Amino acid sequence: MANYEFGAGIWMFQQFVDRYATDAYGPPVSTLEAIEKAARVGYIKCLDINYPFAGEGVTVEQVKETLQKTGIRAQAITPHIYMREYQKGSFTNPDPAVRRRTIELGKTAIDIAHQLDAKYVKFWPGQDGFDYPFQVDYAKLWDYSVSGVREVAQTDSTMQFAIEYKEKEPRNRMFFSSAARTLLAIEDMGVNNVGIVLDSGHSSFAKETPAEVVQLVARRGKLVSVEVNDNWREWDDDMTFGSVHLTEALEFMQALRKINWQGPILLDQFPFREDSIKAAQLSIETIKALDGILDRMDLAALEAAQDRQDALEAQKIVLQTLLGVKLLAHQD
C-alpha cells in the first residue's frame, strides 16, 4: 500500500454560499478557525490556504502560529482572484487596471507563500473566460492569460506556480478549461516554474478520463498537485471521493501508482449540507481502501488484458476484486 500524505483546501472547513442560499450554509469561519477545524480530521497534514485570509485582521504571524500549534503545514497559497471585484475577469479583465491588480496580488501571494513555507502558489482564475458568443476576442484572452501568469512566474524563479483548470463555473466558458488547453498555454508562457493542479473532479466534469489525464500531465513534467472529489459529471459538485464514480476512482488511484506520485493528495470538497470533518474522513478512508484494493488485484493479469485491449476481461478482474466474488463470465 502506498504511504500517501493527505491535505485539503482550507475552504472545505469554511462557509459555503450558493446562488440560492445567499445567506450561506452556516456562519463565517476565519482562516484560523478553519485550520483548527481541519486538525480535527486527524489525517490532514497540509492545507491549501486562500489569501487574503478570512477573518477580521488575521495576520501571517497568526496563521503561522496556528499551523505550528496544530501540526499542519501550508502546502499552497491560492490568491482570491475570483471574487466580486474580478467578476469580469482577473488576468483577462478588459480593464488593464484590474489585470494589473491581479498580477500584483499574485506577487503578494509569493511573499505569503515564502513566509508560510508553502510549496507553490496556485491560480484558479474562475472569472476568466466568457459567457456569450461574440463576447470576447479569443486571441486577446489567450494573450492576457499567458502574459499575466508569465509575469507573476518570472517574478520569482524559485517559487513553483500551478494552474487549476475547470470547464465552467462561475463563467460559462472558463479560459483554463482542460488539461490539454492548459498545457498549451503553459508552453506559450515559456517558463519552467508553472504547472498544473490536477483536480480529479474537474477532469471528470470536463468529460476527460482522470486516470489518463493525470498521466498525460505527469508525462510532461507539469504535475504540481493532485486534488480529489467526485461529481455527477454535469457540475462541479465537489462530493466525497469515489461516491459516484467508484471504478474510475480506483483507476485514478492506480494511475497515481503508475506515475509514482510522491506528493500529498488534497481534498477539494464542498460539503454544503454535511459535516465537513466527517466528509474529509470518509474521503481519506475511501482513498486508503481503494489503494488497498490495488494490493489485492491481479495487476499482471490486468496488464495482460489491457495489452489485448480486452475490455470484458479487464472489467472482470476489477469487479472481482471490488465485489469480492468470482465472476464466471468470459471464460475460455
**pLDDT per position as a tens digit, 43-86:** 999 999 999 999 999 999 999 999 999 999 999 999 999 999 99
pLDDT for position 2: 83
To the nearest whole percent, how much of the chain has pLDDT over 90? Answer: 94
Find the mean pLDDT for residues 218-225.
98
pLDDT of residue 23: 84
Say which residue the cell 456562519 belongs to.
27
Residues of the chain with CATH 3.20.20.150: 6-296
pLDDT the model gives residue 332: 55
For the segment 223-241, the average pLDDT, to the nearest whole number, is 97
Looking at domain 6-296, its CATH class is alpha beta
pLDDT at 109 > cutoff 70: yes
Per-residue pLDDT, 20: 86
Q: How far apart are CA 202 and CA 233, in angstroms?
A: 9
> Which pLDDT score, from 0 to 100, does residue 217 have?
98
Task: Say what the pLDDT of residue 50 is.
Answer: 98
How many angstroms from the chain centroid is the CA of residue 25? 22
Residue 19: pLDDT band (50, 70, 90) is confident
pLDDT for 256 equals 98
**Residues whose CB is less than 8 angstroms from the CB of residue 37 and which lie 6 or more positions away in sequence, other chains included:** 13, 29, 276, 277
Sequence letter at residue 170: P
Using the structure block, give the residue that is written with the C-alpha cell 498521466.
215
Could you tell me the pLDDT band of residue 207, with boundaries at 50, 70 and 90? very high
pLDDT-derived band at 330, boundaries 50, 70, 90: low
Q: Is the pLDDT of residue 94 over 80?
A: yes
Averaged pLDDT of the chain: 96
Query: Is-above-0.85 flag for pTM?
Result: yes
Sign for the pseudo-dihedral over CA of 149, 111, 202, 84: negative
Looking at residue 328, its pLDDT comes to 78
Q: What is the model's pLDDT at position 118?
A: 98
